[in-house]
């Protein structure tokens, strides 16, 4: 199944701008995806906003979640990313707890809450909130959309784990939903979370015009449906056991299956935050980069970490004979591709206020260098 004509190039660059003036070498890989998801414009327009410039340590640190993020534009500003993540996750968890209440019928709501409140890093809601704040919006404005993308993400995990799909027993360090509530209730819990995500955006978003809420609902629906998450999942299932799966085929799967919801998270935040069309598209490109980055890193972790470290079954893609980036490129070149995606994602944030962009820079680094 050939979905695009790939063009691949490798280049080597050397820089002495790393900490301690130590030279580092980086290989980069460029790949052209289908025209509708072209990630990197050749001549992006830039607005007359504060130009984004981060210190090299904030971009290349291998443990950004444990360090502070500084901007060279404002050397007095420091983002404590660990604190930022904890605070945002706490806000999201509180909002999710209040959104999906325990009520009749008890079993379905217990099942919904079991997976929705089981933990997780809340990366998608954080991206939604950070994008909203980047363009001048408030966390409270973005929170219904942030919760909605987490509900949809949870739905996808519940359904992915079913015996008819990935047949997994472990998720976020706990038994999967169908192991506790049965396959029938697990399916319905996922369906209910999906339906409620739209209701929650429509009813709970305050201070945003109706036309922007309609745009949000349209974006959300498209990222899930037959041109988004479902498309990626179907092609993924159809590809199991195939002997010849090319890189362009694999990228189609992951741009749709994984990146689409990450893209929606950022775009939703930008829309409710009041962004104009140009800024929405710049943030869309940023999100597409980190969406694919997320999957490349996921593939690497699947073959380099244990189930205990991941909180889910390790090596399942290998057992299922799925095509992954390490399988096609090898571990080292997969890591190089991830580094390139991270750099090109952050380039899309140039032109935005550097202080407000700091959380998105840190989140991109977090996705790139996470351990689970």
Give the H or E element holding residue 9: strand 9-15
Question: Using 50, 70 and 90 to split pLDDT, how confident is the model at 319?
Answer: low
The string of pLDDT tens digits covering residues 81-122 is 989 999 999 999 999 999 999 999 999 999 999 999 998 889
Q: What is the predicted pLDDT for the residue at 322?
A: 73
Here the tokens at position 286 are 């940023």
Residue 300 to residue 324: CA distance in whole angstroms: 9
* Assigned token pair, 78: 């420091």
Compute the distance between CA of residue 361 and CA of residue 290 in angstroms, rounded to an integer: 10
Instruction: Name the CATH code of domain 81-369 (choices 3.40.50.1010, 2.40.50.100, 1.10.1060.10, 1.10.600.10).
Output: 1.10.600.10
pLDDT at residue number 51: 35
User: What's the pLDDT at 302?
Assistant: 85
- CA distance linking residue 158 with residue 177, whole number of Å: 6
DSSP 161: T
Dihedral pair phi/psi, residue 165, rounded to 5°: -115, -105
pLDDT tens-digit map of 285-313: 999 999 999 999 999 998 886 666 556 56
pLDDT digits (tens, 9 = 90+) for 164-199: 988 899 998 899 999 999 999 999 999 999 999 999
Mean pLDDT of 342-362: 95
- Of 39, 160, 143, the C-alpha closest to 96 is 143
- Could you say which DSSP state residue 255 is in? I
CA 328/CA 245 separation, integer angstroms: 9
Give me the residues paired with residue 170 across strands.
Answer: 175
């Amino acid at each position: 199944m050939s979905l695009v004509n790939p063009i691949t190039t490798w280049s080597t660059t050397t820089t002495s701008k790393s900490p301690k003036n130590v030279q580092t070498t980086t290989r980069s890989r460029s790949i052209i995806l289908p025209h509708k998801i072209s990630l990197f414009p050749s001549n992006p327009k830039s607005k007359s906003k504060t130009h984004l410039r981060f210190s090299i340590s904030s971009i290349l640190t291998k443990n950004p979640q444990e360090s502070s993020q500084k901007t060279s534009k404002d050397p007095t500003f420091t983002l404590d990313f660990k604190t930022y993540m904890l605070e945002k996750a706490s806000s999201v968890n509180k909002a999710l707890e209040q959104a999906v209440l325990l009520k009749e019928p008890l079993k379905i709501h217990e099942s919904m809450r079991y997976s929705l409140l089981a933990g997780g890093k809340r990366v998608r809601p954080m991206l939604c909130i950070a994008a909203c704040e980047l363009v001048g919006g408030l966390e409270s404005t973005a929170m219904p959309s942030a919760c909605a993308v987490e509900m949809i993400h949870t739905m996808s995990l519940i359904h992915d784990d079913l015996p008819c799909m990935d047949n997994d027993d472990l998720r976020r360090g706990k038994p999967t939903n169908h192991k506790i509530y049965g396959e029938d209730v697990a399916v319905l819990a996922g369906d209910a979370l999906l339906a409620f995500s739209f209701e929650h955006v429509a009813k709970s978003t305050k201070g945003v015009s109706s036309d922007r809420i309609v745009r949000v609902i349209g974006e959300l629906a498209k990222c899930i449906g037959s041109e988004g998450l479902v498309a990626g999942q179907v092609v993924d299932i159809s590809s199991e056991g195939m002997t010849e799966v090319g890189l362009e085929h694999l990228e189609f799967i992951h741009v749709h299956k994984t990146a689409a919801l990450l893209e929606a998270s950022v775009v939703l935040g930008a829309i409710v935050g009041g962004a104009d069309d140009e800024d929405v598209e710049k943030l869309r490109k940023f999100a597409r980069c980190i969406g694919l980055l997320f999957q490349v890193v996921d593939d690497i972790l699947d073959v380099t970490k244990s189930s205990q470290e991941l909180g889910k079954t390790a090596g399942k893609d290998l057992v299922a004979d799925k095509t992954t980036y390490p399988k096609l490129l090898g571990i080292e070149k997969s890591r190089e591709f991830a580094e390139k995606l991270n750099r090109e994602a952050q380039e899309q944030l140039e032109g935005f206020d550097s202080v407000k962009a700091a959380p998105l820079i840190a989140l991109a680094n977090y996705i790139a260098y996470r351990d689970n």
